[in-house]
């Protein structure tokens, strides 16, 4: 039997499928750290980005880019649009760079996928700040797991419970959830503290104050905090429209019992 070699280019994905079918695993990496070790060691200098979509009640699909700082877990939802063109993505990248300001100096890597929404102009915004662009492998969302998890959290805690009316409504909902995510929501990596815990005031101890409730995202999310009791002793009844308001004051102490003159 005679074999004749045929020169034909084969894609790397085809080779991977053949090896995977016959049960041959890829060779282990012989030099350098693993991807998990790299992300852990370089967390302070990595910011990740990924696009996610949301649908309105009328079936219109909107897109938004989510940036996540690995070290602080701070979330940045850059904007919302119906047509995520490359020029629009570049404007959002420039707005993010302006918002971060001097914090851009601590970043070394931008982690993103190979979506066509990104382009050379998008990468140039970060390369101008000496930030290296890291692209994930095709169809490998686990390489950007932190950002993927943050997007999943946005869906589970907010978008799955709210009917989005239009683009303006989507901006309002996402901006409100971004404040909740950065200022109040606890994170396991940060010892159950929010990313902005260093900027928050010292909370009042539970035994020394009262617990206050504040709702976010149209009542979907509840936030609790403790505040000191007011120093005033006068209590005001709730304001009810159309009714005469009365002010309740503490009752005077009862008189001492009468003593027997005998």
The CATH number of the domain holding residue 169 is 3.30.420.10
Taking residues 220-239, report their average pLDDT: 57
Residue 218 confidence class, pLDDT cut points 50, 70, 90? low
- Residue 75 has a pLDDT of 94
The count of domains in the chain is 1
* Closest to 110 in 3D by CA, of 155, 147, 84: 147
- Residue 33 has a pLDDT of 76
Answer whether residue 19 is part of any domain.
no
More confident site: 261 or 107: 107
Predicted TM-score (pTM) of the model is 0.66
Give the CB-side neighbour count of residue 235, counting CA atoms within 13 A: 7
- At 79-136, the pLDDT tens digits run 999 999 999 999 999 999 999 888 888 899 999 999 999 999 999 999 999 999 999 9
Q: Could you identify the residue written with the tokens 């370089």? A: 42
Which structural domain, as residue segments, surrounds residue 131?
42-197
- Asked if 223 contacts 214 with a C-beta cutoff of 8 angstroms, the reply is yes
Answer whether residue 132 is part of any domain.
yes
How many other C-beta atoms lie within 10 A of the C-beta of residue 115? 14
- Asked if 132 contacts 107 with a C-beta cutoff of 8 angstroms, the reply is no
Answer whether residue 8 is part of any domain.
no
Answer whether residue 50 is part of any domain.
yes
Answer whether residue 94 is part of any domain.
yes
**Cα(32)–Cα(214) distance, integer angstroms:** 48
Answer whether residue 63 is part of any domain.
yes
Answer whether residue 13 is part of any domain.
no
Answer whether residue 27 is part of any domain.
no
Taking residues 222-242, report their average pLDDT: 55
């Amino acid at each position: 039997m005679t074999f004749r070699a045929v020169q034909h280019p084969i894609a790397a994905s085809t080779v991977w499928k053949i090896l995977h079918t016959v049960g041959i695993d890829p060779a282990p990496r012989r030099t350098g750290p693993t991807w998990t070790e790299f992300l852990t060691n370089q967390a302070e200098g990595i910011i990740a980005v990924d696009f996610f979509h949301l649908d309105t009640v009328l079936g219109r699909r909107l897109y938004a880019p989510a940036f996540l700082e690995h070290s602080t877990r701070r979330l940045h939802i850059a904007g919302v649009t119906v047509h995520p063109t490359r020029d629009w993505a570049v404007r959002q990248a420039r707005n993010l760079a302006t918002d971060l300001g001097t914090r851009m100096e601590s970043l070394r890597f931008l982690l993103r996928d190979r979506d066509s929404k990104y382009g050379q102009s998008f990468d140039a915004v970060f390369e101008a700040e000496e930030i290296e662009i890291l692209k994930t492998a095709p169809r490998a969302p686990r390489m950007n797991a932190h950002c993927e998890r943050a997007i999943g959290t946005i869906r589970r805690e907010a978008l799955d419970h709210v009917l989005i009316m239009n683009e303006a409504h989507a901006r309002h909902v996402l901006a409100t959830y971004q404040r909740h995510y950065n200022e109040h929501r606890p994170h396991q990596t940060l010892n159950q503290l929010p990313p902005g815990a260093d900027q928050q005031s010292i909370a009042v101890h539970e035994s020394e104050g009262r617990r206050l409730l504040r709702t976010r995202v149209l009542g979907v999310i509840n936030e609790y905090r403790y505040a000191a009791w007011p120093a005033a002793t006068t209590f005001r009844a709730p304001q009810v429209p159309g009714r005469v308001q009365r002010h309740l004051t503490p009752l005077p102490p009862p008189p001492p019992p009468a003593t027997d003159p005998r």
